[in-house]
């Protein structure tokens, strides 16, 4: 079965600094990969997704992620973080045939200091 690991439970960055959130997946074939964001008291919102093709994908709010098959990773990046980016970020994996049935990681809580 597929699985997702987000090794960082909590990350703090200064506003304006760059950000990278780590995600590693386990699946025998090429998975579908996603990043979602959850603001306090809200549901999750899709940031970006990877199915195939270009391994660098762009998402909303200035985020991007890079799929690296050799490392089984799909890390999320943003060159300059804004205070409004403080939230919890979830990496998720879907597999062929049941791609809408996602397995989520445990999340990384991002704190932004001013």
Partner 1 sequence: DAGVIQSPRHEVTEMGQEVTLRCKPISGHDYLFWYRQTMMRGLELLIYFNNNVPIDDSGMPEDRFSAKMPNASFSTLKIQPSEPRDSAVYFCASSLSGGIGELFFGEGSRLTVL
Q: Give the one residue of 43, 52, 54, 114 binding partner 1; rule: CB under 8 A.
A: 43
Query: In whole angstroms, what is the distance from residue 11 CA to residue 98 CA?
Result: 32
Tell me which stretch binds partner 1 (CB under 8 A): 18-26, 33-41, 56-64, 67-75.
33-41
Q: Which long-range contacts (CB under 8 A, 24 or more apart) does 80-83 make?
A: 80/16, 80/17, 80/18, 81/13, 81/14, 81/15, 81/16, 81/17, 81/18, 81/19, 81/110, 81/112, 82/15, 82/112, 83/15, 83/112, 83/114
Is residue 111 involved in binding partner 1 (CB under 8 A)? Answer: no
Residue (9 or 56) nearer to partner 1, CB: 9
Residue 107 contacts partner 1 per CB under 8 A:
yes
Does 40 interact with partner 1 (rule: CB under 8 A)?
A: no
Q: Which positions lie near partner 1, rule CB under 8 A?
A: 32, 34, 36, 41-46, 49, 51, 90, 92, 94, 98-107
């Amino acid at each position: 079965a597929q699985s997702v690991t987000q090794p960082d439970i909590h990350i703090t960055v200064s506003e304006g600094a760059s950000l990278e959130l780590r995600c590693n997946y386990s699946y025998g074939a090429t998975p579908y990969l996603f990043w979602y964001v959850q603001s306090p008291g809200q549901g999750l919102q899709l940031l970006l997704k990877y199915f195939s093709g270009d391994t660098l994908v762009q998402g909303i709010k200035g985020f991007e992620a890079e799929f690296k098959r050799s490392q089984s990773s799909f890390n999320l990046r943003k060159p300059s973080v804004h205070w409004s980016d403080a939230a919890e970020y979830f990496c998720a994996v879907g597999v062929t045939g049941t791609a809408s049935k996602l397995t989520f990681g445990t999340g990384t809580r991002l704190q932004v200091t001013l």
